[in-house]
Amino acid sequence: MIKVKDLPPSERPREKLLQKGAKGLADYELLAIILGRGSQNNDVLSLSKKIVKIVDEKGLSFSVDDLTNVLGIGTAKAASISAAFEFVRRRIKPEGLKIKFPADVLPLIQHYADRKQEHFLCISVNGASEVMSVRVVSIGLVNKSHVHPREVFADVISERASAVIIAHNHPDGDLKPSKEDIQITGQLKEAAKILGLNLLDHIIFNVRGYYSFAEKNEI
């Protein structure tokens, strides 16, 4: 078990934040600062990585019980995390961000770029070209079985959105769309049309850049 104090000062989350600012830290490092310390069985970085996985899967709808199911997270830490997320959620929301080009949503999803698994995201857009919400649809290899139109558009319809942007990260570093990426884009475009929605773009991204189907005139 590697403790934070055993890391070089430049790699410790709190010190990194003071040197580089919060934007220079990975999600799990930011969460490690909120947690403060680990437990008897897990160091704080390991705990924070487990919690990030829960938040990725559940979104902001995660509960205190979801967090306390992680060994080493008691009710006090779970309450602190829930309170921190709710505080930010009330003040900094994606709603109202007006997009001129689909790639304008990148700041809202870029923190998924360093994930080791593919995260498939759906961004709801209203008739005024404003972002309504950003959600994780699936985690794992992007294929037809994981990315079904029903899962992608269910919440979009309930929100009464008029358009969507889909996106996913490529952990292997290659931004070129795979055969499956192209097939899924076509499938979701047809499904969106039937539902009266406009599929604006499919963005593939990583820590080095992004690929936009719309910018390539492929959607």
Domain boundaries in the chain? 4-91, 102-212
Task: Kindly report which listed range (69-83, 137-151, 174-188) carries the lowest average pLDDT score.
Answer: 137-151
Contact 44, 38 (CB under 8 A): yes
Average pLDDT value for residue range 128-151? 80
Q: What is the structure's pLDDT at 4?
A: 73
Residue 166 has pLDDT above 90, yes or no: yes
Task: Kindly report which listed range (35-39, 51-55, 96-100, 144-148) carries the lowest average pLDDT score.
Answer: 144-148
The residues near 169 (Cβ < 8 Å, ≥ 6 apart) are 112, 113, 115, 118, 119, 204, 205, 206
Mean of all residue pLDDT scores within the chain:
86
Indicate the SS3 state at residue 107: helix
C-alpha 115/C-alpha 107 separation (Å) is: 15
Q: What is the structure's pLDDT at 145?
A: 46
User: What's the fold here for domain 102-212?
Assistant: Cytidine Deaminase; domain 2 (3.40.140)
Task: Kindly report which listed range (101-110, 160-169, 201-210) carries the lowest average pLDDT score.
Answer: 101-110
Contact 108, 123 (CB under 8 A): yes
First to last CA, the chain: 48
Q: What is the structure's pLDDT at 123?
A: 93
The residues near 192 (Cβ < 8 Å, ≥ 6 apart) are 149, 153, 164, 198, 199
Residue-wise pLDDT tens digits, 5-16? 778 878 888 998
Write the DSSP string, 120-161: EEEEEE-TTSBEEEEEEEEESS-STTTS-HHHHHHHHHHTT-
Q: What is the structure's pLDDT at 114?
A: 84
Residue-wise pLDDT tens digits, 38-97? 877 788 888 899 988 888 877 777 889 999 988 888 899 899 999 988 887 766 655 567
Task: Kindly report which listed range (32-36, 39-43, 102-106) carries the lowest average pLDDT score.
Answer: 39-43
Residue 188 has pLDDT above 90, yes or no: yes
Indicate the SS3 state at residue 52: helix
Q: What is the structure's pLDDT at 177?
A: 93
Residue 212 has pLDDT above 90, yes or no: yes
